[in-house]
Amino acid sequence: MSTPITPPPAAADSCGCGDPHDHTGHDHAPTGADVVRTLVPALSVVSLVLPAIGVLLMVGVLAAQPSSPLVLLLGISLGGLQLVVLVATSLFVARTRTQLAVNPGLLAVRSIVDEVLRLAAVWAATLLWPGDRLGALALWVGAGTALVWIALTTVQTLRTRRLIARPGEWSKNAIATLLNEGVSVRRSMTMRVLDVVGTVAFQLGATILLILSPAMLVATVVLSIGTGLSTLVLQRHSPAERISSPWAYAPLGIGLLTLTMSLLVL
């Protein structure tokens, strides 16, 4: 039986190994466990921030209450129909050719359908509540639509958190992507929240523009296509490049631009 060789104290001190609790000079790349410990709490925070955005949205539109709370239900119905269009196009892509997922033509068709549905919703609002102010109707229809997308993103975030926390093939692939690409968890979560803020701003702005003038349909379609095109551009880059690309801020910028335009003409 061999006897283990123990270095003398001087040698131990010179290699920096004298104190087993001293990790100076031993920094290592993050592991899968490190990513999980960071990502799960981050997703939990985002899943709380998103509903808070919805609450702030409703508090903000309370100052312009319409005569009936059913206006909000009309907006929720519009958001539901937009979600149906999204699911339908996704199923169409899955059953035909996956290359269509990055086809600008299909994106344009979905944007046109979404904005035509929005125009129909604001027309219905003006017919059902003719005595209400147009601004109040638009804000509540837009808020209802935005709430649907906030709810959808919140559910997706909670589902992602559950999958990441539970060992499995999906979580392994997701964590491996984050490690290999060097994606910042904090920045990724920040971009998710900013995307939702951009969506809320666009839903409010586009609805105000259309209720004031149906001719603005062309403008809202173009802005909607612009948001979608920025997403297609990002899909051509690696996950790490997407986070740092200026295109990642396009949905937020377009949403704020749309809302600003609508408030200027309101």
CA angle 219, 266, 58 (to 5 degrees): 95
Question: Which of residues 23 and 208 earns the better pLDDT score?
Answer: 208
pLDDT at 166 over 90: no
Q: Dihedral through CA 58, CA 60, CA 61, CA 65, nearest 10?
A: 100
Q: Say how many CA atoms lie within 13 Å of 44 toward its Cβ.
A: 7
Q: What is the chain's Cα-based Rg?
A: 25
pLDDT at 122 over 50: yes
Q: Dihedral through CA 239, CA 245, CA 248, CA 254, nearest 10?
A: -160
Say if residues 265 and 209 touch (Cβ distance below 8 Å): yes
pTM of the model: 0.85
Q: What are the pLDDT digits (tens) for 76-118?
A: 999 999 999 999 988 887 777 766 667 788 889 999 999 999 9
Nearest alpha-carbon partner for 165 in 175, 179, 180, 150: 175
Q: What are the pLDDT digits (tens) for 11-47?
A: 334 444 444 444 444 455 667 677 788 889 999 999 9
Confidence of residue 154 (pLDDT cuts 50, 70, 90): very high
